[in-house]
């Protein structure tokens, strides 16, 4: 069986090149798209629907 938390983190890592160390299910995570720019920080949220 796969771990949804690890799958979610891997998807963010593949899309942006880095991912947060701690991901809390149900809470929005700010994921900085560009480490040098603070203007556009996409958000992601893991839910178990």
Give the whole-angstrom CA distance, residue 37 versus residue 48: 31
Work out the pLDDT band at 20, boundaries 50, 70, 90: confident
Q: Give the chain's domain count.
A: 1
CB atoms within 10 A of CB 20: 14
CB atoms within 10 A of CB 43: 9
Q: Which domain holds residue 21?
A: 4-45
DSSP-derived secondary structure letter, 34: S
The answer to whether residue 46 scores a pLDDT higher than 70 is yes
Torsion of CA 29, 33, 36, 38, to 10 degrees: -50
Work out the pLDDT band at 33, boundaries 50, 70, 90: low
């Amino acid at each position: 069986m796969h771990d949804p938390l690890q799958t979610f983190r891997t998807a963010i890592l593949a899309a942006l090149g880095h991912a947060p160390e701690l991901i809390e299910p149900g809470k929005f995570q700010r994921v900085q798209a560009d480490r040098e720019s603070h203007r556009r920080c996409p958000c992601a949220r893991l839910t178990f629907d």
